[in-house]
Amino acid sequence: MLATVQQLLVAALREPDPLLYLQQNVPVATALSDDERKWLLAVDGDGLRLSRMLIRKLRLQRIVRGDAEASAFMAREPERFAACFARYDREEPLRHVFPHAEAEAFRRYW
C-alpha cells in the first residue's frame, strides 16, 4: 500500500539512522506487499542520509528566514541554538511548508 510506503519513508527520514529504521520496521509492516518490502530494503543508505540532511537543512532555513529573532539567536548563541533546533527537529513533526509558519512553531517551542 502506497500510504504505508510513504509513512515508513517519512518516519525513516526523521531518524538519525534512516536505513536502520527501515531495516527494523519494513519486515514487520504487515500492510506492505513483498515487492514493496524489497524496494524499501534496497534503498541506498547514503541517499537516505543525504535526504535526511537536506530536509533538516531546509527546516533550519525556514526557521531563520522566517524569524529575525531566531536568526539573531543562531548568530549570538550557535551552540545553544543548535541544541534547541536538534530537540525541536526530533520532537516536532514536519508539518510546515512556509518559513513564517515553521518559525512560529519553533518560537513556541524554544
- Whether 98 and 76 share a structural domain: yes
- Whether 39 and 61 share a structural domain: no
CA distance 58 to 50: 12
- Whether 39 and 56 share a structural domain: no
CA distance 11 to 15: 7
CA distance 83 to 29: 33
Dihedral angle of Cα 9, 97, 64, 14, to the nearest 10 degrees? -10
Residue range 36-95, pLDDT digits in tens: 999 999 999 999 999 999 999 999 999 999 999 999 999 999 999 999 999 999 999 889
CA distance 71 to 52: 22
Residue range 27-50, pLDDT digits in tens: 999 999 999 999 999 999 999 999
Determine the structural domain holding residue 25 and report its residue range: 1-43
What is the count of structural domains for the chain?
Answer: 2
User: What are the b/e assignments for 4-15, b being 16+ CB within 10 Å?
Assistant: bbeebbeebbbb
